Each structure stands twice: as structure tokens, then as C-alpha cells.
Amino acid sequence: HELAHQWFGNAVTESTWDDAWLSEGFATYFTLLIQEYAYGHDEYIDGLKRSRKTILDFYKKDSTFKIIDDRTAEMAPVTNNMTYQKGAWTLHMLREKMGQENFKKGIQAYYKKYFNANASTDDLLTEMQTFCKEDLHSFFDQWLKRPDVLKIRGNWQYDSTGKQVIIKLAQTQSSGFLFDVPVEFQLIDAEGKTSLQKVNLKSTTAQFKINAAQKPVAIIMDPRTVLLGDYFFEPL
């Protein structure tokens, strides 16, 4: 973690305390990447799951904290677990959204441009946007400028006549804010074969139909651990 700060936090330093996650989130995330390189992908996923638990536990006590907010060191602490853990998770999801190669190019461009200088979250956004076809503004806004935690409750059933899996999802954030997120599902059949399916959830409730020749024996939500949130998903 401290070694990662040589590049992110020292060589590239955040412009204001509002952007402290550009140090701590980066150092936390790159620590996970080093652990993945040294010990394997399972170690990386375990680290993400531990971070997710920290985030969810934090929000049970404080549901108002935003990663980016008006704050000063003179008034109150400018970092906490969210700056580290949610900052890291945001980078993890951004890497998934952009693809590993484009994410890598964006980070390299950001580092090169702001080497031995100061950078803001908007500066990072501008550099990453160069390598991403999708607009990233709403992604940055919902994960960094909102205090909400994504909560999804859902179920599934199999329509044997139509040969389809019917998935129903609901966002249940008490704040009423709606996320716009991709949600993945892994379908497992009786022979152990799997298929990965992705839907986009942006409304309060939604229903999705996925073609399946036979009833799955199980469906796993977010099987690759790529979406930050609190989930409950079961068969009907």
C-alpha cells in the first residue's frame, strides 16, 4: 500500500481533500492487484469481498458519507474506510467497465500527464474517458458523489413452455436513488455447464427473460464479484 503511494499520492497528488481517494483508493486497489499477481485471482476476489463487507458495515452506521464531498482537514477527518475501500471498489468496477487494456492505457495516460503535479477526480475522468466509448460521467457520479449503497432483491423461475428463465429484480435503497448498473448471472445446468448472462438494471423494478433449453439447477448473481452492493437473490 505504501509503495503504491510512490506513484499515486506522491508522484501524482490529489488537488484537494475532496479527491483524497485518488491517493488512498488507488493505493488500496493496486495492493489488491499486486496480491493477485503474487498469490492468484482467488486472493484478489477474497480481498474485494472483505472490502465490500467493510463498506456495507460502515453504511449501517453512517449512510451519508460521500467519497467526494466538500470537506477540509480543519473541520473533520478527510479519510475513512470508504476513502480506501469504496475508492478501490470504484476502480475495480471502472476496470471492468472499460476492459483491462483500456483501463491500463487510461491510468498510464493519467499518470504521465500529472506526474509530479496535482490532479482532481475530473482530471482522472477526462483521461479515462479518452479510452472508453461509454460516457463515464454517470458512473463517477453514482459511485463517488452519492452516499447510497446499491441494494438488490430478486428471484427467478423457469418457464418450461417458453424455455426461458424469468428474473425479477428490485432496487430497494431507502434513499430512493436509482443506480444504473449491469448485473451478471451465472446459469448452471444439470450437467454442470455454465453460461454467463448480463442485464442492465436502472429502474426500481425490472423483469428479464433469458433463453434456456432446460431449467437451471442454480443461478448465481454477480458470480465474478464485479458489482458493489448488497444482494438477496433466490429461486421461487
Give 195's strand partners: 187
Using alpha carbons only, give the angle 220, 223, 224 rounded to the nearest 5 degrees.
175
Q: Report the largest interatomic distance among the alpha carbons of the chain, rounded to a whole angstrom.
A: 65
C-alpha distances in Å from residue 176, one per residue of 16, 25, 147, 152, 172 = 30, 27, 12, 13, 8
Element (DSSP H or E) covering residue 188? strand 181-188
Q: Which of 2, 74, 101, 191 is catalytic?
A: 2
3-state SS, residue 46: helix
Please give the Cα distance from 150 to 172 (Å, whole number).
8
Q: Are 201 and 185 in contact (CB under 8 A)?
A: no
Q: Are 35 and 27 in contact (CB under 8 A)?
A: no
Q: Quickly count: other Cβ atoms within 10 Å of residue 51's Cβ.
A: 22
Q: Are 171 and 150 in contact (CB under 8 A)?
A: yes
Active site residue 2: yes
Residues tagged active-site: 2
